């Protein structure tokens, strides 16, 4: 039975050549749900895994637009609707030059289990384009978003598929996309989440992912008999997730000492708090040089150009940048530093090899599917707010978010315990998410 999942991994490899990111996550999820498959032969018989690794639908389309100089530009747009077992497809839109099906399918597949873990009624999907918003004018971004939605609108809807933001897509882009969607359909509905609060969005959605990550980290530490307050923390990234994480770390009394950007990393042992976090937010819009201007403004900080921050000694590490940020060599550095806790803020920031090495060396890894689920959970609250035609207040959102994160941690911890896997949250999150999706799929017949 040990090779139950290998057959499906081989199938995914054969059917998705040249998409290593997708294979990486399929491998990670399927290997860890092996004990569930062994306990449930009816899942195998129902072809559940073959169906899960094949998106229900994927669309690819041309996105033509005109730049400020009057030149015609053509990008490629996509939406992968992976699973509607638990509700409408739900997941972000990513704009980045390296976007291709392998990246969107890894994100879409992960999203199924992440969304299931929230306990809310949302399926999984992901979309995006190889459009690079960096260096584009506001008018160019608007024209691109309008063209993107002119094709995408026919595939989405409040009970069909509800996109949100991801890398390169924030409140501005969502605003332009929902504006065009409204113009084409004549509907002001809950089809888009991550909208600004002036525009039907949910108070607290912007910081929800980062806040949720820190609540999750607090639960992990508590489980291990430790406290978040007073801990030193290193994060990577400088975007929305990193910013929300920095804010909540400060509120809960932890000390953030390093963050990174495309130009290197900042080490600020006096603590990155208050106006420094606000300055990180300001730099976010500027794209390239993040650390150099920070070090200029705050001379107590050290700027280490061209390096990742994983050599810095700290109590807790939270990668918030992007996929495969921590490879085996970084995992070795972390273990040599005495790292005990790594909580994934970004989606799949750690390679499978690196996770194995960290866990084998006693590091508790909090997987992204669980740790960063607060973002999509609040997106689902935004769907509820829009469907109710009401406006929720921030305090209610924060309170619900905290409850959801505590529950996710409990679900993952219980699942690994049930299968005698110790406190292995990577397996626990995959198992708990998978169980919910599998149970729903079994009710719905072979579809
Ligand atoms: N892109 C985010 C994620 O990775 C948010 C998705 C959403 O809110 O739908 O979970």
Rounded Cα–Cα distance for residues 104 and 86 (Å): 20
User: Are 162 and 301 members of one domain?
Assistant: no
Is residue 239 within 6 Å of ligand 1 at its C-beta? no
Instruction: Please indicate, yes or no, if residue 411 is contained in any of the structural domains.
Output: no
Instruction: Please indicate, yes or no, if residue 29 is contained in any of the structural domains.
Output: no
∠ Cα 237 243 248 (to 5°): 125
pLDDT at 285: 72
Structural domains counted in the chain: 2
User: Are 180 and 251 members of one domain?
Assistant: no
- The residue whose CA has the least distance to atom 10 of ligand 1 is 376
Burial class (CB in 10 A: 0-12, 13-18, 19+), 72: exposed
Nearest atom of ligand 1 to the alpha carbon of 163: 9
Per residue in 410-419, pLDDT (tens digit) is 999 999 999 9
Q: 390 alpha carbon to ligand 1 midpoint, in Å? A: 22
Task: Indicate the length of the chain as a whole number.
Answer: 447
Q: Which of 301, 331, 366 is where one domain is finished?
A: 366
User: Are 193 and 228 members of one domain?
Assistant: no
| C-alpha 144: how far from chain center | 24
Rounded Cα–Cα distance for residues 131 and 63 (Å): 9
Q: 420 alpha carbon to ligand 1 midpoint, in Å? A: 31
Task: Tell me the C-alpha to C-alpha distance, in Å, between residue 295 and each of 233, 292, 312, 347.
Answer: 18, 5, 17, 28
User: Are 186 and 240 members of one domain?
Assistant: no
User: Are 236 and 131 members of one domain?
Assistant: no
Instruction: Encode 414-438: b = buried (16+ Cβ within 10 Å), e = exposed.
Output: ebbeebebeebbbbbbbbbbbbbbb
Rounded Cα–Cα distance for residues 261 and 292 (Å): 9
The residues pairing with 374 across neighbouring beta strands, listed in sequence order, are none
Instruction: Please indicate, yes or no, if residue 347 is contained in any of the structural domains.
Output: yes
Instruction: Please indicate, yes or no, if residue 280 is contained in any of the structural domains.
Output: yes
pLDDT at 2: 54
Is residue 90 within 6 Å of ligand 1 at its C-beta? yes
Nearest atom of ligand 1 to the alpha carbon of 165: 1
Nearest atom of ligand 1 to the alpha carbon of 122: 9
Three-class SS state of 234:
strand
CATH number, domain containing residue 251: 3.40.50.720
Q: Which of 199, 220, 250 is where one domain is finished?
A: 199
pLDDT at 321: 95
Instruction: Please indicate, yes or no, if residue 408 is contained in any of the structural domains.
Output: no
Instruction: Please indicate, yes or no, if residue 253 is contained in any of the structural domains.
Output: yes
pLDDT at 1: 47
User: Are 230 and 88 members of one domain?
Assistant: no
**Exactly one of 90, 105, 126, 255 is catalytic; which is it?**
126
Contact 57, 126 (CB under 8 A): no
User: Are 194 and 295 members of one domain?
Assistant: no
Instruction: Extract the residue ranges of the chain whose pLDDT is less than 70.
Output: 1-2, 287-288
Domain extent, residue 281, equals: 206-366
Is 126 a residue of the active site?
yes
- Residue 96 parent element (H or E): none
Q: 297 alpha carbon to ligand 1 midpoint, in Å? A: 33
User: Are 259 and 339 members of one domain?
Assistant: yes
Q: Which of 375, 380, 404 to mutate to test the pocket of ligand 1 (most atoms within 8 A of CB)?
A: 375
User: Are 112 and 163 members of one domain?
Assistant: yes
Instruction: Please indicate, yes or no, if residue 254 is contained in any of the structural domains.
Output: yes
Per residue in 337-369, pLDDT (tens digit) is 999 999 999 999 999 999 999 999 999 999 999
Longest dimension (CA), the chain: 63
């Amino acid at each position: 039975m040990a090779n139950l999942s290998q057959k499906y991994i081989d199938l995914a490899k054969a059917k998705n050549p040249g998409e290593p990111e997708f294979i990486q996550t399929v491998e990670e999820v399927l290997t860890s749900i092996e004990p569930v498959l062994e306990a449930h032969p009816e899942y195998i018989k129902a072809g559940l895994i073959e169906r899960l690794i094949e998106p229900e639908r994927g669309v690819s389309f041309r996105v033509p637009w005109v730049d400020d100089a009057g030149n015609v530009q053509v990008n490629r747009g996509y939406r992968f609707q992976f699973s509607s077992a638990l509700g409408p497809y739900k997941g972000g839109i990513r704009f980045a030059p390296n976007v291709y099906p392998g990246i969107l399918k890894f994100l879409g597949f992960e999203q199924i289990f992440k969304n299931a873990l929230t306990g809310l009624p949302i399926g999984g999907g992901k979309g995006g384009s190889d459009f690079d918003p960096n260096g584009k004018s506001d008018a160019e971004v608007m024209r691109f978003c309008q063209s993107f939605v002119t094709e995408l609108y026919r595939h989405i809807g409040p009970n069909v598929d509800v996109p949100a933001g991801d890398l390169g897509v924030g409140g501005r882009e969502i605003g332009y996309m929902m504006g065009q969607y409204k113009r084409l359909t004549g509907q002001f509905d809950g089809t888009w989440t991550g909208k600004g609060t002036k525009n039907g969005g949910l108070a607290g959605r912007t910081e929800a992912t980062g806040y949720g990550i820190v609540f999750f980290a607090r639960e992990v530490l508590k489980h291990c008999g430790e406290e978040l307050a007073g801990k030193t923390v290193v994060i990577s990234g400088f975007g929305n997730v990193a910013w929300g994480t920095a804010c909540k770390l400060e509120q809960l009394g932890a000390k953030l000492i390093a963050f990174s950007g495309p130009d290197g990393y900042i080490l600020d042992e006096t603590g990155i708090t208050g106006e420094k976090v606000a300055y990180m937010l300001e730099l976010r819009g500027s794209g390239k040089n993040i650390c150099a201007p920070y070090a200029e403004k705050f001379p107590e900080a050290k700027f280490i150009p061209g390096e990742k921050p994983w050599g810095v000694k700290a109590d807790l590490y939270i990668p918030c940048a992007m996929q495969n940020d921590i490879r085996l060599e970084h995992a070795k550095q972390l273990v040599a530093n005495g790292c005990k806790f790594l909580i994934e803020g970004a989606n799949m920031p750690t390679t499978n090899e690196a996770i194995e090495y960290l866990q084998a060396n006693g590091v508790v890894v909090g997987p992204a599917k669980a740790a960063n689920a607060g973002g999509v959970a609040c997106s689902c609250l935004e769907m509820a707010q829009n469907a109710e035609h009401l406006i929720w207040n921030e305090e209610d959102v924060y309170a619900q978010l905290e409850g959801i994160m505590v529950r996710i941690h409990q679900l993952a911890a219980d699942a690994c315990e049930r299968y005698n896997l110790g406190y292995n949250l990577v397996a626990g999150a995959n198992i708990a998410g998978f169980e919910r999706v599998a149970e729903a799929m079994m009710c719905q017949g072979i579809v």
